[in-house]
Structure formats: structure tokens, C-alpha cells
Structure 1
Amino acid sequence: MSSVGVLRKMKVAYAVGDPQVNYTLVLDNEDIPMNRLLGTAIRLSWTNRILCLNCGKTTKKSFGQGYCYPCFIKIPETEACVLRPELCRAHLGEARNMQWAEQHCLADHYVYLAVSGGLKVGVTRKSQIPIRWIDQGASRAVRIAQLPNRFLAGSLEVALKAYFSDKTDWRKMLRGVEPEEIDLAGQRTLSRELFPQNLLDYFLPSDEIYEINYPVLEYPTILNSVNLEKVGIVEGVLTGIRGQYIMLDKQRVMNIRTFSGYEIIFEKVDL
């Protein structure tokens, strides 16, 4: 088994009742089911080429997880509000691409609480549930508010960050540390007290707590993060997948999304 192509973030599929998240590695137009490779030795070899995910041109460096610099500074996918929703100005008619903004910024958004190594607050489009939670490796999550655009959702998140972290504790997440003492329903109720007065009407009076399971045979106890660009070849037995990370034997982890745009050769091998 050998495949060549440009890396993108892994596709995920998960529905209530599924035993675990299903992951697919995406190489150009080829999809590689990853769950079935658990316990199998794999190899990722970088060809020393990086191709922009937008224009397809070769670039010496990847910007914004997969783009050349000219595209990075002009395409809507890398606008400031992607990382900081409170900076969105689409509701004022200002965006790099208003057609894109109408679908991505002027659509309903959720503000949520999730357990991903620790408790965090976050924002995502309505259509991205539960994909966003899975990409962050969350084990549990609950929605707390539904707002009509990205700016308002970001404004609420900023207010809640005075109490809740907005960062994923990826080290704990990848070690499988699950702080069971976190009362997600109780924290959800508490969050309402932190809402700015003008956003109280967007609080969701009730919501179920989502639980998410990942395909992991064994969690590492010590994390050795692998940099594909530095080592060129990454190989080992696939022991798990969580968030956008693959876990390999010898306590190694690699963030697939970090290397979006990198052309690789993917192989199933015998070690």
C-alpha cells in the first residue's frame, strides 16, 4: 500500500451511538480510512515539497496551515476572525469575500463548553457540530448559546474567557487525562451569570451533553511531538488518533493539520 499526495486535515465522522470517531486521511483526491490501520505500522515520507491548498503553487513555507504567503494575506479562510471571532466585521458588510462571509460568518454560531484535557470555551458554526469538538479532541461538550453571526458569538466568548480558558490542553488530551470532576452541566448553568446583558437572550435554556470516543489502543504517558519537516520520515505502529493527532509507538504524536500542504508518500509497512 503506497499513496502520494498533499496532506490536509483528516476528515471525521461521528454520530450519537457510534462506538468511536472514524478518521480518514486525505491525500489530494485519495481517502485513506485510518481506523482500520490501528495496530499497523505506517510510514509518512515528506517529498520536500509544500503546495498551497488554495492556488496549488509550490511554496518554501506554509502559512496558516497550508497556504503560500500571497494567498494567506488575501483569502477569506485566513482572515483574522477565523482565529478571533470577535474581530469579524462581516455583519457590517466588510470582509475579504462577502459571498464566503455570508456562508461562514453570517450564519448561526454556537458558543460551547468542552472538556479537552481541561474545561474550555469555544465558538463554532452551527454546521460544524460535532466536527469542531472532535478536531479539538474533546471528550465531552455542551452548547450554551446560539447566536446569529460570528461577531456576536466571538463577543460572548471574550466575556466568558474572563472565567473559562479558551485553550485546549493538548498535552493532557493526548495522554488521555479526563478530569471527571468537571460538572459540565453545572458549569453550563454558571456560564449564564457571565453573559453580557445584551446577549442574555441567546442563552440556550437546555442542551444535551455530547460524549465522544476516539480510536485509541494505548495513550502515551510521555509526549514526544514529531516534526515531519525536520525528520523527513515518520514511521511506527499507529496506536491511536485523537483531535488531528496520530499517535505512534515509542510515545510519539504528530499533528496532521500542522503539515497541511506538505506532499507525502503514505505507506503501510513491515517494521
Structure 2
Amino acid sequence: MKQMVGYLRMMEHEGLVPVQYKWCYATYADEAESRRPEKSDAIENLSEFTINTWIGKKLHLSTNGKIRCVDCGKLTSKSFNQGSCFNCFSTKACNDLCIMRPETCHHHKGTCREPEWGETNCFKKHTVYFANSSGLKVGITKENPVSNRWVDQGARFAVPLMEVESRREAGIIENYLSGFLPDKTTWQKMVAGDPPDIDLKKEKEKFLRHLEKQSFEMEMKTGKNKEIVWKSDLSKEIVEIQYPILSYPKKIKSYKLEESKPIEDVLVGIKGQYLLFENGVINIRSYGGYQTDFHAL
């Protein structure tokens, strides 16, 4: 019987037609050696099988209540920001507000929680894109290929808009565009069915013409402003993503993974980081760090 027991991370994926999913989870040497759990590095694992093969089957998904921080590995009684302990949530740059609102990046002010992490992760090329997941939205990513981000958010169609040199620059432009269209996916609509038809090519051309008439600046370490230079993506190809879905849930309700309440339901599909069951859905990313048991009945 195929089974996954370990500390949940997320669902890794590859391909687009359709997307193939594998279970990503962590184990720890201290527990494997029957030692007392302590702050330690995780041993990352990928399931040998694809979760796609379980679609149409009744599954059991449960947790024993144990949570280990996805950042430092220590046991924590509560998960913050999808898997961090409170200390890592409060001190790690990857958990700072600017990750959700990149236009608020404060690295240039000398107040970044982890300057070296910021230089490695934020000062690299980022793509501003349009996607259709629950409707037209704008987003940014450093992912390469960009489609990795599109799959994670459950987009059915997407197109790159432009490229800039840093996360902060991308965030400033995204923040401007969010005044015209959403920058978030409505998950209830995303898991309920295909989004409405939108001419992404037309929207891209329209907004690029608009942006060419605008100028964007950001403050530098010196206190002076620098103009943001962006490069439009000349690709006119709209990327289509197909997800492994037999049917959509009968009820759009969110399952909660609780120690006393295992989930037992028929898996009907996978979209983004959501498992779609006949009677509800669960966002796997929300339970990063939880020790889980996942198997077919």
C-alpha cells in the first residue's frame, strides 16, 4: 500500500499538460534514531509515486498534532506563516512583511532581518505577470521557469508581462497595477471550476501601452530616487495549464487538518496546492511542518 508518513512540506510538481504532483515531506534523524527531538536539519523527501494515481480513490489524511518548524526543525506548538515557529517567524527575512508586500522592502535602509538572504533571493531578476486563476490577476515571481509559480496558484492561463532587476522593483509595479486589477486569487472560485474566459494577450498589450506612459522610482541607500527600468516580455504565447481533475467538489468548504479529526474522502482532483475531494478541499501549503499520515483506503 502506498503511504506517506512524515512532516508535510508541499506538493512538488512538474509538467503542464497535465501537471504531475508528488508529495514533499521531511524526516529527522533524531526521531529516526529514537532520540529526543531537537533543533535539527530536515531530510527532504519526495514520494516515489505521483499523487495523480490516487485520484478517484478514497484517501485518509491525518495528523498526530506534532509540528516541526520548516525553518529550524524544532518542535513547535503552533505554526506561523505556513510552518514556522514563532522565533523564526519573528526573525527570518523570509517571514517579513515585505515578502507579502515587496514594495515595502527596507533592505536599502539597513534594516533587513537577514541582509545576505535578501541579496541572494531579492536582488535577482523578477517577472511581473498576468494570470487567470479565479479571474485576471497580476503577480510577481523569481521562479524559473515562471510557470512554477503559476501552477502553485492554480492558474489555468498566464502570460509574462515584463522583467525587472529585483523583487522590490517588481513589487512597486505590481502595487501600481493592483489599483486596476486584483493581485490575489480567490481560492473559492479557483477550486470551484475553470475561470471565465479572458483575452490575456489583449490585456497584456493594453497594460503595456499604459505602463509605457508611466514612470516608477524607488529610494536608494543614498536617499536619492532611482528610476525603475523594466523590459517588456515580447512573448505573445499564452501558457495553458491543465490540472488532474475528474470533477470539482460538490461543496466548496475548507477541510481542517486536526489531530482528532482525520479526513477521509474521495480525491477528485488537484489544483495549485489544493487537494480537491468530493466534499471539500484542503490547502496543503497551510499545513507545512505538520506530521501527517497520508494513504489510500
Equivalent in the alignment of 1:132: 149
**Is residue 110 of structure 1 aligned with residue 127 of structure 2?**
yes
Deviation readout 1:87-120 (Å, 9 max, x if unpaired):
1233566522233222210000000000001110
Residue 186 of structure 1 corresponds to which residue in structure 2?
202
Residue-by-residue CA offset, 1:110-148 (whole Å, 9 max, x unaligned): 000000011100011142511111111000001111000
Q: Taking structure 1 as the reference length, what is the TM-score of the superposition?
A: 0.91
User: How many Å separate the matches in 1 of 2:230 and 2:21?
Assistant: 37
Superposition pairs of residues 39-50 of structure 1, within 5 angstroms: 39-50=56-67
My pick for the range that moved more, 232-241 or 139-148, is 232-241
1:255 aligns with 2:256: no
Counterpart of 2:265 in structure 1: which amino acid? G
Q: How many residues are paired up?
A: 264
Unaligned 5+ segments in structure 1 are: none
- What's 2:256 paired with? 227
SS of the residue 1:7 aligns to? strand
Matched, 1:266 2:294: yes
Q: Distance in 2 between matches of 1:3 and 1:23?
A: 14
Q: CA deviation at 1:222?
A: 2.8
Identity of aligned residues (%): 38
1:200: Cα distance to partner? 6.6
Aligned to 1:7: 8
Structure 1 residues 39, 164: closer, same or farther in 2, change over 3 A?
Answer: same
Residue aligning to 1:78: 95
Q: Is the 8 A contact 2:250 2:280 kept in 1?
A: no
List runs of 5+ in structure 2 lacking aligned partners. Answer: 27-43, 217-227
**Contact 2:245-2:268 at 8 Å conserved across structures:** yes
Q: TM-score, normalised by structure 2?
A: 0.83
Task: Report the counterpart of residue 21 of structure 2 in structure 1.
Answer: 23
- What CA RMSD, in Å, does the superposition of the two structures yield over aligned residues? 1.8
Change (3 A) 1:166 1:80: same
Q: Cα deviation per residue 1:176-204 (whole Å; 9 max; x = unaligned)? A: 13211x11011101112442324574333
1:92–1:61: structure 2 CA closer, same or farther, 3 Å change rule?
same
Structure with greater Cα Rg = 2
Cα deviation digits, residues 219-249 of structure 1 (max 9, x gap):
1243121011375301122110001000112
1:153 aligns with 2:170: yes
SS in 1 for 2:144: helix
Q: CA deviation at 1:3?
A: 3.0
